[in-house]
């Protein structure tokens, strides 16, 4: 069985090398290809001049800032589109430009001042800081990492230990996460037949029987497979020790010091936008499809399922009490522990001090 369109899972971690990749989370038409790579960029401009410096002419109380997304403009960022469309940014005195993340270096862009805030993942941000980047994580949209193991509902693989002796399809740019997951669970990588699916392969390998399981994103590939008539079973890597925040909000330590007011206003508006999407996911779907559906060839059915699936990662027991994007100290400790395992096994090079996470902006809301 072959899916009509390929869909690929892609975490924003430093890839082995730069290649073109298909989208990992949106069901797109026409085989859209995206350039990968997140090497730190050189100086691209002044944060004060570009990201939030100065008032807009004729709009004395609105400050221009840019928000750099880490992926395509699909429902993954529905709450941000609502914040823009429904005037939540305006209400906070901001003129926000949302920048699509098609193959961009978020850490380099934010670090160089081309955007005040960026969307990324904790491991990617940590790796950049380990290389000298002046970055801080100021909030976490996805409280649980969306990475999951997908298998056929007819032959479900329900735990990490059941992967031993199985063939697992993994995209090349996800090997760091995959290797860390195995290490966290004490599984010798030689005990699992890892199939390198390269940079453009989708989950067809699972539907065609070439692999027993697929490493993907719970918000995307399961819905694509289910819509194609292939029932699946999934479990989150986060349920088995792989604790890495995803879709985090990152900025620089300098910006926290010099542009705290704008950051607080931005995060307040983001929280309002995502609360609106949580209360009415149809609204998030509608604005996404109206803005980007035709341009990207998005499937309304798949995007509806994706938006609904991600909300379980956004609203948790902790954020219901502490507010959206809040970072539980216990979860921060788990993030640090996961990254330290990767360092100890020489899987990656991460900055693993708790001060990577800065909750001063959320506390000021």
pLDDT band at 173 (very low <50, low <70, confident <90, very high): confident
Each residue's pLDDT tens digit, 48-90? 333 433 333 334 579 999 999 999 999 999 999 999 999 999 9
User: What are the CA-CA distances from residue 96 to residues 67, 83, 91, 223 (Å)?
Assistant: 7, 10, 11, 31
Do residue 194 and residue 338 come from a single domain? no
* 44/269: higher pLDDT: 269
Do residue 129 and residue 262 come from a single domain? yes
Among candidate residues 240, 268, 296, the one where a domain is terminated: 240
pLDDT band at 273 (very low <50, low <70, confident <90, very high): very high
Do residue 304 and residue 338 come from a single domain? yes
Each residue's pLDDT tens digit, 276-304? 999 999 999 999 999 999 999 999 999 99
Do residue 71 and residue 216 come from a single domain? no
pLDDT band at 202 (very low <50, low <70, confident <90, very high): confident
Cα(70)–Cα(297) distance, integer angstroms: 19
Do residue 180 and residue 218 come from a single domain? yes
Nearest to 216 by CA among 306, 347, 116, 338: 306
Q: Is the pLDDT reported for residue 242 higher than 50? A: yes
Range of 236's domain? 146-240
Q: Is the pLDDT reported for residue 5 higher than 90? A: no
Q: Residues 113-118: what's their mean pLDDT?
A: 98
Residue 352: inside a domain: yes
What does the pLDDT read at residue 60?
56
Q: How many domains does the chain have?
A: 2
Among candidate residues 211, 240, 269, the one where a domain is terminated: 240
Q: Which residues pair with 257 in a beta bridge?
A: none
Do residue 139 and residue 151 come from a single domain? no
Each residue's pLDDT tens digit, 207-234? 999 999 999 999 999 999 999 999 999 9
Could you tell me the pTM of the whole model?
Answer: 0.85
Phi, psi of 213 (to 5 degrees): -150, 160
* 76/35: higher pLDDT: 76
Do residue 180 and residue 312 come from a single domain? no
On average, the pLDDT of the chain sits at 86
Domain with residue 305: its CATH number is 3.40.190.10
């Amino acid at each position: 069985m072959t899916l009509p369109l390929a869909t690929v899972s892609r975490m924003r971690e430093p890839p082995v090398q730069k290649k073109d990749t298909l989208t990992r989370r949106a069901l797109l038409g026409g085989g859209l290809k995206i350039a990968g790579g997140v090497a730190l960029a050189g100086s691209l401009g002044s944060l004060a001049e570009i990201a939030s410096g100065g008032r807009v002419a004729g709009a004395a109380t609105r400050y221009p800032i840019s928000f750099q997304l880490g992926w395509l403009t699909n429902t993954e960022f529905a709450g941000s589109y609502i914040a823009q469309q429904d005037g939540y940014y305006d209400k906070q005195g901001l003129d926000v430009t949302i920048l699509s993340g098609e193959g961009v270096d978020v850490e380099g862009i934010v670090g160089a001042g081309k955007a005040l805030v960026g969307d990324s993942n904790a491991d990617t941000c940590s790796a950049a800081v380990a290389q000298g980047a002046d970055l801080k994580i100021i909030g976490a949209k996805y409280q649980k990492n969306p990475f999951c193991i997908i298998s056929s509902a007819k032959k479900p693989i329900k735990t990490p230990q059941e992967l031993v002796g199985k063939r697992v399809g993994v995209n090349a740019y996800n090997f760091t996460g995959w290797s860390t997951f195995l290490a966290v669970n004490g599984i010798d990588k030689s005990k699992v037949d890892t199939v390198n699916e390269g940079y453009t392969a989708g989950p067809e390998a699972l539907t065609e029987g070439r692999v027993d399981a697929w490493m993907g994103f719970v918000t995307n590939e399961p819905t694509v497979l289910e819509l194609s008539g292939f029932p699946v079973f999934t479990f989150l890597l986060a349920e088995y020790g792989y604790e890495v925040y995803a879709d985090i909000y990152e900025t620089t330590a300098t910006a926290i010091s010099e542009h705290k007011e704008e950051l607080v206003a931005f995060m307040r508006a983001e929280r309002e936008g995502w609360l609106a999407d949580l209360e009415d996911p149809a609204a998030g779907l509608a604005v996404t499809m109206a803005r980007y559906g035709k341009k990207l060839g998005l499937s309304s059915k798949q995007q509806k399922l994706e938006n609904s699936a991600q909300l379980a990662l956004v609203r948790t027991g902790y954020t219901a009490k502490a507010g959206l994007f809040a970072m539980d100290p216990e979860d921060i400790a788990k993030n640090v522990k996961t990254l330290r395992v990767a360092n100890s096994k020489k899987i990656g090079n991460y900055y693993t001090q708790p001060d990577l996470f800065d909750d001063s902006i959320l506390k000021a809301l």
